[in-house]
Structure formats: C-alpha cells, structure tokens
Amino acid sequence: MPKQTRQEIIKTILNANIVETQEQLVELLKQANVEVTQATVSRDIKDMQLIKVPIRAGRYRYSLPVMNNAAAKGDSDHVVASALRAAKSMDKFVSLTLSPGSGPAVASILQARNDERIFAIVPSDASTLIICYTAVQASALAAELDIIAG
C-alpha cells in the first residue's frame, strides 16, 4: 500500500477515534485491513507531524496538525491520483477502480470535499462506488477524476 494512502487512512482513524498510543493506532490499522509494524506507524507519525493534545486527567491523544486548506487539498489530490486506476460512469453512478487497500481513504477524501453532486459513496478495499443525483453530474465527476489521475 502506498504511504500516502496509509496516511490518509490514519487521518480517518484519528478523526473517528481517540488514539492515545502507537500500539492503539497499529491495532486500529489492522482492523482496517492495513498490516503495519509499530516502526512504520512511528515513521508515519513523524512524517505527518502528528501532535499530542490533552484530553483529560493527564492523558493525551494523537491529533492532526493544523494546515492550510490549499496544502490539504493538494495532498488529498495526490492520494487520489496515486490510488486511482480507472473511473467509469453509467447513469447516476461513478465506479472507481483503485489500488488495493485504498478504497476507504479515497472515499474519505471525496466525502470531505462535500461535493453537492454526490448523494452517497460506497467504498470497498480496491474500489469505490459514487452515486450522484444526475447522470450529467456522474459523467462530469468521472471526467474530473480522470484529470486528477493524470
């Protein structure tokens, strides 16, 4: 799994869970079908510049650093581009074929964009189904994703 994809999954985990230790993060990644070692997680924490913030009574949790939105969008475009193998549209649906293990991260990135054309996103391990409100929106979204993928 590409490092960027794994790190997007880590971001999703940190947004959904209180993670106090590297061991907890390793376990949560394994639950997300991402096999990693503690050393890999340690490097990811350093690369992602994660910080520890107080939560209660002397306890701390990992948190994402504050970054500007333009940098975050560029990073997420890179994750989508590196994972995306093909985008096809049919009627109101867009089917994304992705590198193995990247489905949840790509779905999370697309969901965070709050694109008003998207009704629902259904991720799996190596694909994601996007349901749009109209066929025209689905076709346009597939074309945009092809541009991101290069």
User: Per-domain residue ranges for the chain?
Assistant: 3-63, 69-149
pLDDT tens digits, residue range 6-32?
999 999 998 888 899 999 999 999 999
Look up the pTM and report it.
0.54
Percent of the chain with pLDDT over 90: 53
pLDDT at position 69, please? 43
The answer for residues whose C-beta is within 8 angstroms of residue 95's C-beta and 6 or more apart is: 87, 88, 89, 127, 128, 129, 130
Asked whether this chain's domains 3-63 and 69-149 adopt the same fold, the reply is no
Q: Which of 28, 36, 33, 35 is nearest to 11 (CA)?
A: 28
pLDDT at position 72, please? 47
Q: Which of 54, 60, 63 is nearest to 11 (CA)?
A: 63
Q: Which of 121, 92, 120, 89 is nearest to 105 (CA)?
A: 121
DSSP letter at 102 equals: -
**CATH class of segment(s) 3-63:** mainly alpha
Q: Which CATH number fits domain 69-149: 3.40.1190.10, 3.30.1370.10, 3.30.1360.40, 3.30.450.20?
A: 3.30.1360.40
